[in-house]
Amino acid sequence: MEPIVFDLTLVRHGRTDANRQGIVQGHVDTPLDQLGIIQATRLGRLLSKDRFDFAFSSDLKRAHLTCQLVLSQQVEDDQSKMSPVVRTLKCLRERSYGVGENLSFSQYYQLAADANQGTAYDFVPEGGESLSQLQSRAKEFLEIMYNYATTGSGDELFENCKEESTGPSEKLTQALDSLSDHDKMTIAHTVLKETPFLPEKSSQQSISCIIASHGGFIREFMKLVTCGNPSEDVVSPEFKKLLINSPANTSFTHFTLTMNSPTEFTLTKLHYLYNVSHLNAKE
């Protein structure tokens, strides 16, 4: 089979109240706060003319709603076209922090220090996941994405496999209805794009996907796809320095991945890393 080219846009969820308070979330299913709804909607405006063939998300509500909000801003020239249904997967969840979940960051750092297992990032709390387990989930996602996008197989793996595109979900409608006039003025600082923001598709045959997940998962996912010390033509020196950082809420990363099989892939180009230009717009 010929190699398949994927243009992937990886998005961290919008802010939650736990983010605001500095609380470890992990698998705790926290919702977006009002700022998180605004952030995700602003990203949608930046990407309003970019088209995605498939949409995937963590099944945790903060990531799922973020993806829905982004897609809700899509402006279609052809009204017969619709944004893809957001398919949710447990393998896209944040890292599990076990007994460390719901602790403040300072409490978590103390827990890690008491365990004397290295850095707080490497520390595996009781009942939590290791970084290698998190990367295994990243590999699992790539296999699912490849098989689903190329053959349509694996629909039963999605948490919302029976969901059809019947218009906006109730939670999406509630989130958009919750926006005040002031919120809408803030969102309008990010002007709706008249042309696509993301680079042109790698080829007519390339598959474009948007993926909404979480900070810890995204960091390990990017470590996975950039392993092997890619050349500066693929990953710029500036981006290489940023890879050790955690992405901000609703930051997006856009890259091209060539896949020879569900388990064999090569990073072709890292176009954007942890970009937050939609939040910086002050027009």
Q: Which two tokens stand for residue 226?
A: 């950039």
Residues in Cβ contact with 195 at an 8 Å cutoff, skipping those fewer than 6 apart:
49
Rounded to an integer, the average pLDDT of 176-197 is 93
- Would you list the domain boundaries of the chain? 4-280
pLDDT band for position 163 (50/70/90)? low
- What pTM did the predictor assign? 0.94
pLDDT digit string (tens) for 10-19? 999 999 999 9
Mind listing the pLDDT tens digit for each residue in 49-77? 999 999 999 999 999 999 999 999 987 65
Mean pLDDT of 154-174: 75
Name which of 193, 275, 271 is nearest 6 in CA terms. 271
Cα 199–chain centre separation: 18
SS3 call for 202: coil
pLDDT class of 30 with cuts at 50, 70, 90: very high
The pLDDT value recorded for residue 166 is 52
Quick check: 152 pLDDT over 90?
A: no
pLDDT of residue 283: 44
State the Cα–Cα distance between residues 54 and 40, nearest whole angstrom.
18
Predicted confidence (pLDDT) at residue 83 exceeds the cutoff of 90: no
pLDDT at 165: 52
Question: Average pLDDT for residues 82-99, to the nearest whole number?
Answer: 95
Q: What are phi and psi of 264, to 5 degrees?
A: -120, 115
Cite the active site residues. 13, 94
Confidence (pLDDT) at 161: 61
**pLDDT exceeds 70 at position 80:** no
Mean pLDDT taken over the chain: 92
Minimum mean pLDDT range among 133-147, 192-206, 216-230? 192-206
Distances in whole angstroms, Cα of residue 60 to Cα of each of 120, 175, 234: 24, 16, 32
Most confident of 16-20, 83-87, 160-164, 198-202: 16-20
Mean pLDDT, residues 186-199 taken together: 92
Name the amino acid, one letter, at 186: T
Stretch 227-236: mean pLDDT? 92
What pLDDT sits at residue 139?
97
Closest CA to 196 of 9, 13, 1: 9
Residue 4 reports pLDDT greater than 90: yes
Closest by alpha carbon to 131, among 226, 58, 220, 263?
220
Find residue 46's DSSP bridge partners: none
Q: What is the pLDDT of residue 79?
A: 52
Residues in the chain: 283
Band (157; pLDDT cuts 50, 70, 90): confident
Fold for the domain defined by 4-280: Rossmann fold (3.40.50)
In the prediction, which pLDDT does 266 show?
Answer: 95
What pLDDT, on the 0 to 100 scale, is given for residue 58? 98
CA neighbor of 64 nearest in space, from 179, 184, 163, 156: 163
Do the Cβ atoms of 72 and 38 come closer than 8 Å? no
The values of phi and psi at residue 98, to 5°, are: 55, -130
280 burial (CB, 10 Å; 0-12 / 13-18 / 19+) is exposed
Position 202 scores a pLDDT of: 76
